[in-house]
Structures are given as C-alpha cells and as structure tokens.
Amino acid sequence: MMGYLSVSLQPRAVNVDLQTDATLQVDISDALSERDKVKFTVHTKSTLPNFKQSEFSVVRQHEEFIWLHDSFVENEDYAGYIIPPAPPRPDFDASREKLQKLGEGEGSMTKEEFTKMKQELEAEYLAIFKKTVAMHEVFLCRVAAHPVLRKDLNFHVFLEYNQDLSVRGKNKKEKLEDFFKNVVKSADGVLVAGVKDVDDFFEHEKTFLLEYHNRVKDASAKSDRMIRSHKSTHTTALLRILLHHYAYYCTTTAPLRILLFFLKVSELFEKTRKIEARVAADEDLKLADLLKYYLRESQAAKDLLYRRGRALVDYENANKALDKARAKNRDVLQAETSQQLCCHKFEKISESAKQELIDFKTRRVAAFRKNLVELAELELKHAKGNLQLLQSCLSVLKGDT
C-alpha cells in the first residue's frame, strides 16, 4: 500500500543542543522510503578547504551511517571521546502490517470509516518516517559539531563521495563475531569497572553513569508503554458510539432537535479526538524520544569510561611488567617502551574524557530543559484547546433545551 514516500523536512531534531557553525553544516534535505530501504539525501555546506565544492549532496542508506559510526568506534585515536550513538534502524514493519490489515478488512467497514482509518495509519507512517530521518540527521550533526570527529577522513568521504560506499550489511559470520565480541566486552567491562579509580571525578562518573543509564532504560521502556496505551484510549470509540446512535435515530421518526444534539456532540468528539491524538504524539516526541536518545548517549558515555578503564588496567599491568623486567634485568627497554605507550594512551584518554563527560552533562541538562518546557507548553496548549471546545459545545447544548 505504501509504495514509496518522499518527505521534505523541517529544521533539526530537538534532542541535542548544538551550535551551528558556518564552517561545516550538515543536514538531511530529503528522504525517500522504498519497499525495504530508506534513502537519505545528505546535504553539506562547508567553507573548509578539504572539500572540492562549498555545497553538495549525496544519497546514503542506513548501513552507511552504521559503517561510519563503527569506524569511529574502532579508531584508537578516538578512544577518549564519546562517540555519537548510531541512529536506530528504520523500522516500518509494524506500521506496514497495520496498513496491510486495513487493506484486507476493507470490505467489512463503511467507506467513511475506511478512509478515516487509512488517513490515521498514513499519518502514523509519516510520523515514524520523520523520526527516523531526524535521528539520522542528529547523528551527523553531532559529528559535525565535534572539534575532532568533524575532521575525520571517513566522515568526509561519507559526505562527499557521490557513489555507493558499498558497505554491505554484515553477513551471518560477521554478526556472530560481533555477538561474541560484545559478550567478551561486557564481561571485561565488569572486570574493568571493578577497578577502583584514583581520580574522584571519574570514580563518581562511573557510579553515576551506571545508575543513570539503568534508570533511563527503565523510564524509556515505561514511557513507551504508557504512550502506546494513550494512543488507543482516545475518544474515537465514544465518537463512534455517538455516530451510531445518531445514525440510528436518523432512521426513526426522532424529532429534529434530537438529531441536531447528536450531530453537535459527535462533531465535538471528532475535534477532541484530533487534539488527543496530538497530545499522544507530542508526549512521544518530547518525552519518549528524549529518553530513548539519552539511553543511547549514556551508553556511549559508559563505553568511553570503559575504554579509559581498560587503558588504566593496561597501564597498571605495564607498570607491573616493567618492575618485573627491572628486577630480572631482562627486556627492560621493551617494557619501558610499552609502559610509556600505555601511560601516554591513558593520559590522552583521561584528558579528553573529562571534557567530554562535562560536555555530556551540559548537553543533557539543556536537552531536558528544552524538551520538558516544550512538553509542558504543548500539554497546556492542547488542554486549553479541549477546554474551549467543551465549553462552547456545552453552552450551545444547554442553551438549546
């Protein structure tokens, strides 16, 4: 039913508070949803000498974003930075299924009902689509805003190279390898986390992030569930009740004033239903999406701490090895070099990590503030809208009798 969908977009996603910088501006100017993939048009404007032109666009798919993200994670030089979390895979399965079911059930409902439901489901599809575009865009913007990552060569290739990057998705073997890597990493992570840090700042951050991440995860899951049931409770049901009763009355010899009464009430419910749908959508955007995003960001921050912890352990082990070598007076030079490398790596990571974590906090507080304020303002706007509708309808209804 949804063959393809193209959408022209509005300014940036709201979950991150980013400074726009004229030297490098990236956005997703267009997107196309086809059968099983989404094609994003990545548009760049830059005054940097690295690029051949000052403004250009390329088409990218989700796998290419993942490739870019993974290349950052695997790059040792970036171990000391919070790597912007990868955007989640576009998932239209649920929405497509619903549209399909609607198509199958077309015969069993009235034309009016069918059109209405179709509009609703299409709007839902569009909303999911806009969200996935926004999340891919935020990823790119975060990279472009980062003083070091924005200079990355892969990033420039991603932005500029106008052919397919041929980064096929992972095959089974690679996926299995990834799985094992993750298992090892989380086991290692537990080990590393157990090591007490001399630095108070990092020790505090470690404890804080662990707890925070878990609670954000919990809050995110529960907000999703709440919003889902909010979506299914709105007064559509009541609206249909009234329409039915009113339609019934039309077939009998009910006086005109009764017909008008039901007509007015069903009009009211049609309007309040639209408002209620918008409330659920806004809560989704301002609350659920915010929590989801910070779930991913806090994971990225945890990963940074893990890398630092790992480097610390390596450094301490190198120290021990050096002591042993000196004691035995064997391979001392080798041990010294190795120790120096580990020391350098650890210190480099620590230095940038501190700043990254402070920036993370600032970004988080700003994003929450923005979204919570907007959430409250929207809730108020909608409630006042509802109130006004109810007041005017009631005054008309009561005045008539």
Residues that contact another protein, how many (by CB under 8 A): 55
Q: Cβ of residue 116: shortest distance to another protein, in angstroms?
A: 16
Sorted by sequence, the CB contacts under 8 Å of residue 368 that are 6+ apart come out as 290
The smaller minimum CB distance to another protein, of residues 115 and 233, is found at 233
Instruction: Tell whether residue 199 is a contact of another protein (CB under 8 A).
Output: no
**Could you say which of 92, 202, 261, 315 contacts another protein (CB under 8 A)?**
261
Q: Cβ of residue 154: shortest distance to another protein, in angstroms?
A: 34
**Could you say which of 268, 325, 335, 357 contacts another protein (CB under 8 A)?**
268
In the sheet with 5-8, reading across from the earlier edge strand, the strands are 5-8, 24-33, 38-46, 55-61
The smaller minimum CB distance to another protein, of residues 109 and 184, is found at 109
Q: Cβ of residue 332: shortest distance to another protein, in angstroms?
A: 45
The smaller minimum CB distance to another protein, of residues 295 and 335, is found at 295
**Could you say which of 48, 123, 176, 237 contacts another protein (CB under 8 A)?**
237
Instruction: Tell whether residue 258 is a contact of another protein (CB under 8 A).
Output: yes
Instruction: Tell whether residue 218 is a contact of another protein (CB under 8 A).
Output: yes
**Could you say which of 89, 245, 324, 330 contacts another protein (CB under 8 A)?**
245
Instruction: Tell whether residue 328 is a contact of another protein (CB under 8 A).
Output: no
**Could you say which of 53, 110, 162, 252 contacts another protein (CB under 8 A)?**
252
Instruction: Tell whether residue 171 is a contact of another protein (CB under 8 A).
Output: no
Instruction: Tell whether residue 376 is a contact of another protein (CB under 8 A).
Output: yes
**Could you say which of 162, 171, 329, 401 contacts another protein (CB under 8 A)?**
401
Instruction: Tell whether residue 116 is a contact of another protein (CB under 8 A).
Output: no
The smaller minimum CB distance to another protein, of residues 144 and 357, is found at 357
Instruction: Tell whether residue 368 is a contact of another protein (CB under 8 A).
Output: yes
Binding site for another protein (CB under 8 A): 208, 211-212, 215-216, 218-219, 222-223, 225-226, 228-230, 232-233, 237-238, 240-242, 244-245, 248, 252, 254-255, 258, 261, 265, 268, 272, 361, 364-365, 368-369, 372-373, 375-377, 379-380, 383-384, 386-387, 390-391, 393-394, 397-398, 401
